[in-house]
Amino acid sequence: MTTITSFTPLTAETLPQRLGSTAGLVGLIGADAAQWKVREVGDGNLNLVFIVEGAEGSAIVKQALPYVRLVGESWPLPLKRSFFEYHALTRQAARAPGTVPVVHHFDESQALIVMEFLSPHIILRKALIEGRELPKIARDIGLFMARTLFRGSDLHMKTAERKADLALFADNVELCDITESLVFSDPYFDAPMNRHTTPQLDGVVAKIRADRDLKVEAQRLKHLFAANAETLLHGDLHSGSIMVTDGETRIIDPEFAFYGPMAFDVGMLLANFWMAYFAQAGHEGDGSRDSMRAYLLKVIVDTWATFRAEFSELWRTERDGILYQRALFENQGDVLGAEQALDHVLSTLWTDLLGFAGIEIHRRILGLAHNADFETIADEDLRAACEARALSFGRHLAVNRRQIHSLDEINALAALIDKGIAA
């Protein structure tokens, strides 16, 4: 093995030589590094990702780069995001067992994580674009969110442990900054890295930048994101951060992890299901997607129902932190008081998640980082029509969220907008 002390990016050629004595990798795939087959498969915005196959198995080696891969070296980004990803994965594995890839090795100086290669899993976003109706995702993701968000918060954690963790993740500044800028601000002014389907959406974009109510709501939600350190978030929970088979769901890529509002993860996730819904019209070349549309709206309903049920169960059984202590409620025989408090927590979460969902929709169509759901629609007029409908829906979510009381109600509106009956 070559000993390298300062950070050096791996290549498919250098990886066997550099990691040939790494116990966490050798133990997994076999010791004869000369036989390893290595492919770089990273297609995300930030990192290198290698699949390494040896005589005895396979593994993923993920390495951060000192810049944003999507943009290039002109946008430096610290390697420490790999440290936060590693620590987030260990916490998620403890709080929601079986939901994230198993980590076998972490090298902080090389910003690399060796982890389980998930196969035959594919990225959920790709599956939804293909029209695959996966039977387990709503339940699996609903449970993942409830367990990680509840168990990482002051509702459950011991206060000293939680405050130490809060301090640890507070240093993930640059990745928070990406979200603060790209998600909450850039789409609403002429930011240099923005792009949109042009000229088709030019008029819509001008209207959005002049939309005072929408901009105020975007900033109120940014305020919440920046100031409400409620729990350890995944931080980038979209359909590109989830790998699936029909029978299994795993959540990947928590490098944006930090302490923020619970509603952010839930809202971002549901927004990506709604965007998949509005993109279906662009993927109808091979036949009607009506069944897929109905499936996606049901996934949204079922994900939230699972989340609520599990969060409520944890509230009743694992509420051992500093908030809403049992001493004030159950221990005085006031079970209803605890239920009333739960209702308040869930109702705030509901309103906020709708807002975050609306904002996520805007940034995926108007900002730097777009979604394959829309981007793979080759006909630009059709793509723009799908995007315009999603934007109109996203504005309802962000601006009118306090008046929305159920998913049935908002999904009915989504269907009317999708059919061109409402705007």
- Interface contacts to Mg ion, rule CB under 5 A: 44, 253
* Binding site partner of 140, from Mg ion, ligand SR1, none, Cβ cut-off 5-8 A by kind: none
Residue nearest to Mg ion (CB): 253
182 near ligand SR1, judged by CB under 6 A:
yes
Considering the complex, what minimum distance in angstroms separates the CB of residue 403 from ligand SR1? 29
Determine whether 341 is exposed, middle or buried from the number of CB atoms within 10 Å of its CB (0-12, 13-18, 19+): middle
Cα–Cα distances (Å) from 21 to 15, 32, 82, 246, 380, in that order, read: 11, 10, 21, 36, 50
360 near ligand SR1, judged by CB under 6 A:
no
* Binding site partner of 68, from ligand SR1, Mg ion, none, Cβ cut-off 5-8 A by kind: ligand SR1
178 near ligand SR1, judged by CB under 6 A:
yes
Q: CB–CB of 95/151 below 8 Å?
A: yes
Could you identify the residue written with the tokens 């001493």?
327
Site for ligand SR1 in 232-291 (CB under 6 A): 236
Measured from the CB atom, the residue of 224 and 251 that comes closer to Mg ion is 251
Q: CB–CB of 186/367 below 8 Å?
A: yes
369 near ligand SR1, judged by CB under 6 A:
yes
State how far the Cα of 201 lies from the Cα of 405, in Å rounded to an integer: 30
Which stretch in 99-107, 124-132, 175-183, 281-289 sits in contact with ligand SR1 by CB under 6 A?
A: 175-183
State how far the Cα of 367 lies from the Cα of 209, in Å rounded to an integer: 12
267-295: burial string, b at 16+ Cβ within 10 Å, e else = bbbbbbbbbbbbbbbbbeeeeebeebbeb
Q: CB–CB of 263/352 below 8 Å?
A: yes
Main-chain dihedrals φ then ψ at residue 139, nearest 5 degrees? -65, -45
Q: CB–CB of 380/200 below 8 Å?
A: yes
* Binding site partner of 218, from Mg ion, ligand SR1, none, Cβ cut-off 5-8 A by kind: none
Please identify which residue in 19, 38, 48, 68 interacts with ligand SR1, judged by CB under 6 A: 68
State how far the Cα of 390 lies from the Cα of 347, in Å rounded to an integer: 24
| DSSP helix/strand/coil, 76 | strand
* Binding site partner of 178, from ligand SR1, Mg ion, none, Cβ cut-off 5-8 A by kind: ligand SR1
Which stretch in 144-152, 178-186, 304-312, 344-352 sits in contact with ligand SR1 by CB under 6 A?
A: 178-186
70 near ligand SR1, judged by CB under 6 A:
yes
Pattern 27-46, ligand SR1, x by CB under 6 A: ------------------xx
Q: CB–CB of 52/40 below 8 Å?
A: no
Pattern 103-142, ligand SR1, x by CB under 6 A: ----------------------------------------
Measured from the CB atom, the residue of 44 and 54 that comes closer to ligand SR1 is 44
Q: Which residues bind ligand SR1 (CB under 6 A)?
A: 45-46, 68, 70, 178-179, 182, 236, 368-369
